[in-house]
Amino acid sequence: MRKKIVFYLFVCLFLFAVLFPFFWQFITSIKPPTELFGERAFSFYTTNPSLQSYINVFTDQKRPFLRYLWNSTVVASITTAFSLIIASFTAYAIARLHFRGKNILLGVILAVSMFPQIATIAPVYLFLQQFDQTNSYFGLILPYTTFALPLAVWNLTTYYKQIPLELEESAKVDGATAFQRFYRIIVPLVLPGTFTTAILVFIAAWNEFLFALTINTDELYKTIPVGIALFQGQFIIPWGDIAAASVIVTIPLVIMVLFFQRWIVAGLTSGAVKE
């Protein structure tokens, strides 16, 4: 019994450490501006909660917050769809077909996923500038593929390998071509794995900062991480607004994590854990 109490104490401590910053962010976001400074800044509660910070986030003309959200949604969605379609073919070929240079291909994909993004930014930036594609969705989707595609190929290959070979063998006997086998049998079966991969790629694209910071500098094309990071003005930092914006961005992620946690955990651990 005593052991159990100690155990739960540790678990609570761990949860507290993980969740405290979120709690603090929330409290800060509903404090009225006068309570953000001085002694009240350290208070764990507020007696007169205010939505002023939330109103500021959405109404400030200098930073179109909704537009940032929209930009991130567009860029992350297209990146995810695009890389998953390309990666499905590649992953199937790697998992199921025989061809020369398979291990080299895998090695290259893995190496690309390890590339520091800063190593490609200069040519990408110069290229986009030359063709007037900075401050556009394309300008971000293109470089995002560098990390999205390897991530997708790597995860999908694991899922494709788990599909029993017999299913395909029997289709082969029935005269189905590799292409038919791919889209009639494999793709539907691997849909859950594809979805898991899509979540991981989407989050990675949604959170990307370096390319977004350098390529899309126009307010109309900034993504949400860049938008929030540049909330801080030259002299004052609007902590209340930043807290409100953080809460707004965190809530959908929390909901997504609660809904899909099993799948996300499976996707995250498939690469690292040998079974």
Partner 1 sequence: MSKKRGFSEKNIAYLFILPAVLIILVIAVYPVIRTFWLSLYDVRLNDPSKNDIYYSYKLDMDGFVEKYPILVSLMDRSLKKPENKASESKLKQLDQRVLKVKESLTNDPNFEKQYDQVDSIQMDDGNVPESLITYPLSKTSAISLLEELKTLQLEVKKLPIKDTDKQGMLGLLNGLQKTVIQPNFVGFSHYTDVIHQPRFWMSLWNTSVFTIISVAIELVLGLAIALLINRQFKGRGIVRASVLVPWAIPTVVSALMWKFMFDGQNGIMAKFFHFIGLIPDMGTLLTSKFWSMFAVIFADVWKTTPFMTLLLLAGLQTISGSLYEAAHVDGASRIQQFFKITLPLLKPTILVTLLFRTLDAFKVFDLVYVLTGGGPANATETISIYTYKTMFAQMNFGEGSALSVIGFICIAIISIFYIRFLGANIMSNNQSN
Angle in degrees, 0-180, between the axes of helices 65-96 and 52-59, rounded to the nearest 10: 80
Candidates 50-58, 60-68, 186-194, 262-270; binding stretch for partner 1 (CB under 8 A): 262-270
Among 81, 185, 189, 257, contact with partner 1 (rule: CB under 8 A): 257
Closest approach, Cβ 1 to partner 1, in A, equals 14
Among 76, 87, 128, 140, contact with partner 1 (rule: CB under 8 A): 87
Q: CA-to-CA distance for 140 and 72, rounded, in angstroms?
A: 10
53 binds partner 1, rule: CB under 8 A: no
The angle at the Cα of 161, spanning 156 to 165, to the nearest 5 degrees, equals 140
In this structure, the chain runs to a length of 275
Q: CA-to-CA distance for 80 and 147, rounded, in angstroms?
A: 11
Read out DSSP for 186-225?
IHHHTHHHHHHHHHHHHHHHHH--HHHHHH--SGGG--HH
Q: Which of the 8 DSSP states describes residue 34?
A: G
Candidates 59-67, 73-81, 184-192, 256-264; binding stretch for partner 1 (CB under 8 A): 256-264
Among 74, 78, 81, 124, contact with partner 1 (rule: CB under 8 A): 124
Question: What is the H or E stretch that residue 87 is in?
Answer: helix 65-96
Largest CA distance in the chain: 77
Closest approach, Cβ 55 to partner 1, in A, equals 19
Question: What is the H or E stretch that residue 128 is in?
Answer: helix 118-130
Judged by CB, which is closer to partner 1: 150, or 193?
150
Closest approach, Cβ 51 to partner 1, in A, equals 19
Among 51, 55, 126, 167, contact with partner 1 (rule: CB under 8 A): 126
Residue list 183-202, contact with partner 1 (CB under 8 A): none
Q: What is the CA radius of gyration of the chain?
A: 23
Find out whether 165 and 92 touch, Cβ atoms under 8 Å: no
Residues 129-168: x where in contact with partner 1 by CB under 8 A, - otherwise, as a string: -------------xx-xx--xx--xx--xx--x-------
122 binds partner 1, rule: CB under 8 A: yes
118 binds partner 1, rule: CB under 8 A: yes
Q: Which of the 8 DSSP states describes residue 63?
A: S
Closest approach, Cβ 24 to partner 1, in A, equals 6
Judged by CB, which is closer to partner 1: 23, or 58?
23
Residues 54-83: x where in contact with partner 1 by CB under 8 A, - otherwise, as a string: ------------------------------
